[in-house]
Structure 1
Amino acid sequence: MSDTKTLSEAKSATAPHAHTAISTAGLLIALGIIYGDIGTSPLYVMKAIVPGIITADLVYGGISCVLWTLTLQTTVKYVLLTLNADNNGEGGIFSLYALVRRRGAWLSAVAIIGGAALLADGVITPPISVSSAIEGLERVYPGIQTVPIVIAIIVGLFLLQSFGTQIVGKAFGPVMFLWFSMLAILGIMGISQHPEILKAVNPYYAYNLLVNTPGGFWLLGAVFLCTTGAEALYSDLGHCGKGNIRISWMFVKTCLLLNYFGQGAWLVANEGQPLNGRNPFFELMPEWFLLIGIGIATMAAIIASQALITGSFTLVSEAIRLNMWPKVRLNYPTDVKGQLYVPSMNRLLLLGCIGVVLYFERSENMEAAYGLAITITMMMTTLLLSMWLRTKRVAGPLVLLFLVVYGGIEGSFLIANLIKFPHGGWVSVAISLCLIGVMYVWLRAYFIKRRLTEFVKIDPYMDALKELSDDDTVPKYATHLVFMSSAERQTEIESKIIYSIFQKRPKRADIYWFVHVDTTDEPYTMEYKVTELAPNDAFRVTFRLGFRVEQKINLYFRKVVEDLVRNKEVDITSRYESLSKQHVTGDFRFVVLEKFLSVENEFPLVEKLVMQAYFYLKQFIPSEDKYFGLDTSSVKIEKVPLVITPVRSVSLKRVY
């Protein structure tokens, strides 16, 4: 007997939002969720491009570079091209990897590097956004200590994560609409004072800065800050849909460019003067508006930080499903899609952000470190996207042209960003390398364990299983005994499970259940299949869950059993005579096999290092039953040895 069904009730909680269709509500939500990072870049970009004496070539060239970077990198590559590479409506580097991973094992390295760099550079986003906004207070209160205020805001933001952001999130859209409207109005006011700044639309000024101005090429590292949020824009595709993103981007880009040109106009009007720590963004504001503008900027920076935190949680959850990250605990504070909370990542991000604020102190110091790692992420996305284009049968010459053009653009940004390495860029690179190390170890260990796990045919053991179930001389272990199995074929089972049932301590039960979880390349698949191994004595349940679906195996298994009982395919009434008369349901007990490193091993050097690192990391994360969402009161964790390569010979000598 075989039955395949969909967990429709559970799926309704995780299905994509209806507002992915183009609508006013969808456009407003897109403003609140998608554009936090890229939307707050006017706070610090022009300040980074013009670090010393203001010159016309620097200003016109810088504005022109910003315009064409937003056009080529953000609009063409991400909004027009990359958004098409959606995985059932979901975006992001891991969703893109899931679409193309069958085309080569080497693509896992590309995804790991890109994902780790995105997480690492994200540690700097909340500090630089909030610091840039709060430092505006210095125009009103000279000498004010901004570091404690910035840390207080960041700590408060991270402490709120465990409660979910459903209520606050509803205000994100209107606040960001107000923010972008303010950007546009301030920009228009600035342009009206010096309309000649509009000449910067001509790409010649960008060319002149990069080629003819001494040191101009290296300013690309500062220019790149205007597009760092493009990768986050793609990652949040599933929240709003590509239609809403594309339409709202026209409004957002217009507001951003108006503000950049307005700042450029103010800078040109002050040509020949040093900035001396002044921020062109706040210089556009009238004195009476400063506190209001700083308040709006701070709210926008908080929203940008919130979007980054939520994106990091989503990134980690996807990495877990793809076996690239330890199976840490995931919480879902509300029923709203995207409301995911990862306690361990929340703590790491908080400590990282506080460390960045204390180390760099000022936003201009953070500018010197920001952007290096995200450039690598964008290059990895370009590689994965080129593979996706090949799966769509796009002509080879066009794919090659895409690789050459964007490889050249992003390669130039990377080279220009390398000068940031000694000035703080090493921080994000060091964090990236640590995260890459964790992801590599976890994925490599997964394949090592899978290769060395011994599977056996389950059919030859069915008769023995039924005899054990009927053997009254063996104390009953549970009415229903549920084993979590990693066997992908429904005809097989781990030899360790057979050992656990028959030898370690005979486990007599009325019904044996073997549960396997298969993670699909689609984000929201929720299906299950039931196979009857022995009539009313043994069943296998295979769950097919998308890589963005939470692992509530206890809940899902209960739903499966209810369906089977309703269809009269199984009787879960206790088989104890006294309890059977009362129609009492039997108890369920889960068994999870947890591997440990056996001392009986001879390792190849690389596998030895990988597995030692794997088991070292495993000490700091909860056991797998918590990840699977199992009720801890009914779970038994059994330790089983993992033997990589048995010791071939032992030099023992018998003496008399």
Structure 2
Amino acid sequence: MASSQKTGINRLTFSGLLISLGIIFGDIGTSPLYVFKAIFNKNIIDADLVIGSISCVFWTLTLQTTIKYVLITLNADNKGEGGILSLYSLVKRRAKWLIIPAIIGASTLLADGMITPAITISSAVEGLAIHDPDFPVIPLVIIIITLLFLIQRFGTSIVGRVFGPLMLLWFSTIGLLGFCYIHHAPEVFKALNPYYAIQTIIHYPNALFIIGAIFLCTTGAEALYSDMGHCGKSNIRISWIFVKLALILNYFGQGAWLIGHEGQQIGTTNPFYAIMPDWFVLYGILIATIAAIIASQAMISGSFTLISEAVRLNIWPKVSIRYPSDQKGQLYVPSINLLLYIGCMLIIFVFRESDNMEAAYGLAINLTFISTTILMCFFLLRKHVKTLWVVVFALVYFSLETAFLAGNAVKISHGGWLTLLLAASIFGTMYTWYIARKIKNNYVRFVDIKPYYPIISELSKDKSVPTFASQLVYLTSANNKEEIEAKIMYSIINKKPKRADVYWLVHVDVMDVPHAKDYHVTSLIPGKLIRIDFKLGFREEQKISLLFRKVVEEMVKNGEIDITSQYDTLKKHQIPGDFNFVVLEKVFTKTSDLSWGKRIVMEYYRILKHFSLSEEKGFGLDSSFVTLERVPLNIPNTQHIELHRI
């Protein structure tokens, strides 16, 4: 089933190409709105610099987007899915430290999701100032972004159907506009020669600033990989040919306009709108605003998917994840929607104009690119690519992306500090959640379950112990089927003896693949103690209550288990017994025996726990059938206490 779905997704179709335009290329497709404006914002227009900048843009799109992402990285598909966490799932067994670049990449990608709507929509709407310099741009940008985030709760499947045709219109328009203006300065075609790019980088006195601005042309490249599961690599690769052509034509057209205004400063003029005929500017602004909204929507949807993966991979607190429509992959994460909105508003109020936002943009996503390169090197080794080629790949892209990082580092004092601060906050949350879980697991003690078989069998029949539930279910983290947490046995036998007709142990194993829904049943004590192991993909919804019910229904149907209540009256009428889930919440009673570093982690973890879902909600359990027991992980001992009996 999964294989056929994957084949269907990767099939080259017209609808697949159209969907790719609507979902994949929004961010990179709106870059002509601000790239040259960022390069020449403070510079006098110089023909050599224009040619060199266009050459830098062309070869950045070729090396970074076409070769690294479209041709190489798209091969790193995890059962048809892409994205930095999908890539991490493929290589994480090769080295434990790979979690660091994975978290850096994910956190910087989320930080980028905060600034993308602000800069793209601001750049588009600012075109209205051409006709009216006093036009209230910021209030309109705030209204558009607010509405965009408000509609997320209702799902965007209906809007999504028109994204493709609208982006087809966008790319056709910008390509045609650029093509029609190139004849004003045909010498822009010299930019196809990489010599001019190299000369600009080596000899231009403000080269680092230029490099940082050039990087903006490829900031959406990561989305090509992240959203691969929606349309397949074949559709992305073919549609990229059209997208790249449209982008290059537009950049060349803007370059022709800049050469025609050599010796001047562009001031508030945006070359993107300057190449439009006067009668078309208002239509151009409208199309650009729609494209900017689509780009922002794609970034928001991608952030929701990223967080849902992070939750299941245990690098983000358990948060509410909703499915507002029947469309496959359609998610809505209320807490992330609010976080992104607050981040967008913060960026707008701090920077106010897209000119200032450009100074902060690109720094965070640059770190995502470097993280992807690290993980890709391990993926290529895993695929037994010759070491020489892996070394060449690493040298080329670490050199390129380090150079871009140096250029973007110039932006730190100009506003890049804010995006770094946002990314660092997200990284701190992810890393704390991951490490705290590791610390807690070190204190979980497992015991051999076999010695408890006779006790459980006798307890189930012991009429002197009141029935706790007909079917008693525990969630266990024990990977070994012959082991069980000591705390679970303590809960059943010692804390308050719990008699049940059948005891169930449920274990959830998150697989390294995105989509899997498998389970295995082990009858430890026939008819008395049963273990169910769920093997779920990291993109699957963990509704354990429903999944467990489905398994039990199948077992009853197959005659493997009898869940009829043992109460005489209910048994007489063949009424099923009740089910009760017992969730053990593991807590630290003291942190004084931890190192100071781990103590800080656990204190931050306690704060995060207040904002995360409870254990039962996190596993999709119905709270009316759940008993929550708090169990200490480290019980203080009495050996150092001195008492005197009198």
| Residue 100 of structure 1 pairs with residue 100 of structure 2 | no
The SS at the match of 2:410 is helix
| Aligned equivalents of 2:343, 2:180: Cα separation in 1 | 38
| Residue 652 of structure 1 pairs with residue 628 of structure 2 | no
| Contact residue 16 and residue 337 of structure 1 kept, 8 A | no
CA deviation vs aligned residue, 1:542-588 (integer Å, no higher than 9, x gap): 00001111111111111111110111101122221211222212111
| Residue 131 of structure 1 pairs with residue 131 of structure 2 | no
| Residue 38 of structure 1 pairs with residue 38 of structure 2 | no
* 1:430 pairs with one of 421, 425, 429: 421
| Aligned equivalents of 2:286, 2:457: Cα separation in 1 | 71
| Aligned equivalents of 1:646, 1:187: Cα separation in 2 | 73
Structure 2 length as normaliser, TM-score?
0.97
Residue equivalent to 2:185: 194
| Contact residue 54 and residue 270 of structure 1 kept, 8 A | yes
Which amino acid letter does the alignment assign opposite residue 482 of structure 1?
V
Residue equivalent to 1:285: 276
| Residue 232 of structure 1 pairs with residue 216 of structure 2 | no
| Contact residue 591 and residue 599 of structure 2 kept, 8 A | no
* 2:364 pairs with one of 373, 382, 385: 373
1:259-270 to structure 2, matched below 5 A, reads: 259-270=250-261
| Aligned equivalents of 1:610, 1:42: Cα separation in 2 | 43
Which amino acid letter does the alignment assign opposite residue 455 of structure 1?
F
Residue equivalent to 1:18: 8
| Residue 27 of structure 1 pairs with residue 17 of structure 2 | yes
Structure 1 length as normaliser, TM-score?
0.96
| Contact residue 456 and residue 492 of structure 1 kept, 8 A | yes
Residue equivalent to 1:4: none
The SS at the match of 1:598 is coil
Residue equivalent to 1:3: none
| Residue 110 of structure 1 pairs with residue 101 of structure 2 | yes
1:73, distance to aligned residue in structure 2 (A): 0.4
| Aligned equivalents of 1:17, 1:169: Cα separation in 2 | 22
Which amino acid letter does the alignment assign opposite residue 79 of structure 1?
V
Residue equivalent to 1:444: 435
Which amino acid letter does the alignment assign opposite residue 364 of structure 2?
A
1:616, distance to aligned residue in structure 2 (A): 2.0
1:513-532 to structure 2, matched below 5 A, reads: 513-532=504-523
CA deviation vs aligned residue, 1:144-196 (integer Å, no higher than 9, x gap): 11111111111111111111111111111111101101111111111132222
| Aligned equivalents of 2:451, 2:9: Cα separation in 1 | 52
* 2:375 pairs with one of 380, 384, 395: 384
Residue equivalent to 1:5: none
Which amino acid letter does the alignment assign opposite residue 205 of structure 1?
Y
Residue equivalent to 1:303: 294
| Aligned equivalents of 1:568, 1:535: Cα separation in 2 | 12
| Aligned equivalents of 1:288, 1:648: Cα separation in 2 | 85
| Residue 610 of structure 1 pairs with residue 601 of structure 2 | yes
1:378, distance to aligned residue in structure 2 (A): 0.6
1:15, distance to aligned residue in structure 2 (A): 6.1
Over the aligned positions, Cα root-mean-square deviation in angstroms equals: 1.6
| Farther off after superposition, 629-638 or 405-414 | 629-638
| Aligned equivalents of 2:6, 2:157: Cα separation in 1 | 16
Q: How many residues align?
A: 645
| Contact residue 510 and residue 575 of structure 1 kept, 8 A | yes
* 1:506 pairs with one of 479, 491, 497: 497
* 1:484 pairs with one of 456, 475, 500: 475
| Aligned equivalents of 1:344, 1:107: Cα separation in 2 | 27
CA deviation vs aligned residue, 1:77-133 (integer Å, no higher than 9, x gap): 000001011111111111111111111111111111111111112211010011011
Residue equivalent to 1:250: 241
Which amino acid letter does the alignment assign opposite residue 567 of structure 2?
Y
| Farther off after superposition, 237-246 or 471-480 | 471-480
CA deviation vs aligned residue, 1:487-530 (integer Å, no higher than 9, x gap): 11111111111111112222221111110100010110110000
CA deviation vs aligned residue, 1:611-650 (integer Å, no higher than 9, x gap): 222122111212021111111221121111121x856842
| Residue 571 of structure 1 pairs with residue 562 of structure 2 | yes
| Residue 414 of structure 1 pairs with residue 414 of structure 2 | no
| Aligned equivalents of 2:286, 2:144: Cα separation in 1 | 13
1:219, distance to aligned residue in structure 2 (A): 0.5
> Which consecutive residues of structure 2, in runs of 5 or more, have no partner in the other structure?
none
CA deviation vs aligned residue, 1:231-280 (integer Å, no higher than 9, x gap): 11111111111101000000000000010101111111111111111101
Which amino acid letter does the alignment assign opposite residue 52 of structure 2?
G
| Aligned equivalents of 1:437, 1:647: Cα separation in 2 | 33
* 1:323 pairs with one of 314, 317, 327: 314
Which amino acid letter does the alignment assign opposite residue 548 of structure 1?
R
| Residue 637 of structure 1 pairs with residue 628 of structure 2 | yes
Sequence identity (%): 55
| Aligned equivalents of 1:291, 1:587: Cα separation in 2 | 66
Residue equivalent to 1:182: 173
Residue equivalent to 2:75: 84
| Residue 463 of structure 1 pairs with residue 454 of structure 2 | yes
The SS at the match of 1:214 is coil
Which amino acid letter does the alignment assign opposite residue 538 of structure 2?
F
The SS at the match of 1:48 is helix
Which amino acid letter does the alignment assign opposite residue 231 of structure 2?
C
The SS at the match of 2:491 is helix
| Contact residue 157 and residue 306 of structure 1 kept, 8 A | yes
